[in-house]
């Protein structure tokens, strides 16, 4: 849900192959912030079966999804994870057993996507820095790599990520704002961008050195594409 345009959202929706995709929003990383939930429905409710799941207000009913969270999530075409604090989000997910449900959804073929924390969470390891000092975080581990987002947003980010990879963090992928990494299974299928100048990189340790390789980026216009699986965007 970028503010300017919905081109990455359209791309992700196209991956489901559904005419009217069932999409569920997880705003956990924001503390289930109301305005984020409203933004989600504004963006998706006209052309999708949109729902959201609040893990902070499960006792109050009437708003998001209640009762059988697993059945609801497993019946989606797309699960959209909002941005925010990835450490808090993963803690809450684990407490509600959602880590396991999301793993099952992924194996079942549900497309998983999200910006920022909603990207970091799918990887084995991630650099979380947007909301505090840089920190190495263990994600759900669906994708056996590390991830760094907002790569161009702060000058220190590149050095921090290289430092961690050099320090033994898994090799992985870094993405500028507006750039999405599309994985099919655990293989990077494609890198797409809503910006003309966005970049993404493979960052890996080779011998004693950390090597960064620029990846080919497809700059999206309004075209329909069909593919599947995890899309992580910065």
Partner 1 sequence: MEPTNPLLDDYLLTLTRSQQPRILFLPTASGDTNTQINAFYARFGGRACQPTHLSLFRLGDLERSLEQTVLEQDIVYVGGGSMRNLLAIWRAHELDRMLTSAWQGGVLLAGLSAGAMCWFEGGITCSSGAPEPIAGLGLLAGSLTVHADGEPERLPVWLAGVRDGRLPGGWAADDGVGLLFRGQQLERTVSSRPGAGAQRVDALAGELVRHRLEPELLGAGEQRGPALDDDVQELRRVHRLRREMIGETHRFSDP
222: left (phi over 0), alpha (psi -120 to 50) or beta: beta
Per CB under 8 A, 115 contacts partner 1: yes
Instruction: Decide if 51 is catalytic.
Output: no
C-beta of 2: minimal distance to partner 1 in Å? 6
17 CB contacts (<8 Å, ≥6 apart)?
77, 226, 228
Contact 216, 204 (CB under 8 A): no
Question: Scanning residues 35 to 54, which ones bind partner 1 (CB under 8 A)?
Answer: 36
- 208's CB contacts (< 8 A; 6+ apart) are none
Catalytic residue (choose from 30, 51, 52, 150) = 150
Strand locations in 43-176 (E): 49-52, 78-81, 111-115, 123-128, 135-138, 143-148, 172-175
Q: Let me know if 119 is a catalytic residue.
A: no
Q: Which is nearer to partner 1, 17 or 147 (CB)?
A: 147
Q: How many CB atoms lie within 10 A of CB 135?
A: 14
87 binds partner 1 (CB under 8 A): yes
| Annotated active-site residue in 30, 54, 116, 128 | 116
Tokens of 124: 């084995």
**Which tokens is 212 given?**
């960064």
- Per the rule left: phi > 0, alpha: psi between -120 and 50, beta: everything else, 141 is left
Taking CB under 8 A as the criterion, the residue among 123, 130, 161, 173 binding partner 1 is 130
Q: Which residues between 161 and 190 bind partner 1 (CB under 8 A)?
A: 177
72 sits near partner 1 (criterion: CB under 8 A): no
Considering the rule CB under 8 A, would residue 228 count as an interface residue with partner 1?
A: no
Residue 136: beta bridge partners? 127
Query: Which position among 24, 73, 79, 90 is part of the footprint of partner 1 (CB under 8 A)?
Result: 90
Judged by CB under 8 A, which of 5, 47, 56, 223 binds partner 1? 56
- Nearer to partner 1 by Cβ, of 20 and 42: the residue is 42
Q: Which is nearer to partner 1, 36 or 201 (CB)?
A: 36
Helix (H) or strand (E) holding 210: strand 209-214
Catalytic residue list: 116, 150
Q: Which residues bind partner 1 (CB under 8 A)?
A: 1-3, 29-33, 36, 55-59, 61, 66-67, 82-85, 87-88, 90-92, 94-96, 115-118, 130-132, 177, 233-234
């Amino acid at each position: 849900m970028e503010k300017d345009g919905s081109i990455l959202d359209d791309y992700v929706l196209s991956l489901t192959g559904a005419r009217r995709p069932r999409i569920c929003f997880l705003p956990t990383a924001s503390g289930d912030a109301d305005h984020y939930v409203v933004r989600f429905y504004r963006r998706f409710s006209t052309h999708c079966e949109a729902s959201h799941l609040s893990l902070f207000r499960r006792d109050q009913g009437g708003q998001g999804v209640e009762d059988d969270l697993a059945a609801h999530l497993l019946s989606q075409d797309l699960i959209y994870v909002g941005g925010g604090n990835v450490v808090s989000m993963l803690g809450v997910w684990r407490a509600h057993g959602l880590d396991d449900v999301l793993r099952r959804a992924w194996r079942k073929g549900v497309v998983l996507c999200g910006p920022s924390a909603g990207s970091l969470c799918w990887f084995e390891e991630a650099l979380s820095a947007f909301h505090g000092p840089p920190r190495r975080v263990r994600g759900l581990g669906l994708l056996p790599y590390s991830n760094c987002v907002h790569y161009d947003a702060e000058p220190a980010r590149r050095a921090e990520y290289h430092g961690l990879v050099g320090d033994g963090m898994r090799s992985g992928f870094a993405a500028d704002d507006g750039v999405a990494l599309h994985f099919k299974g655990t293989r990077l299928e494609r890198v797409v961008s809503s910006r003309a100048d966005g970049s993404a990189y493979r960052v890996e340790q080779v011998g004693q050195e950390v090597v960064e390789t620029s990846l080919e980026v497809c700059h999206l216009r309004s075209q329909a594409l069909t593919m599947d699986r995890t899309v992580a965007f910065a």
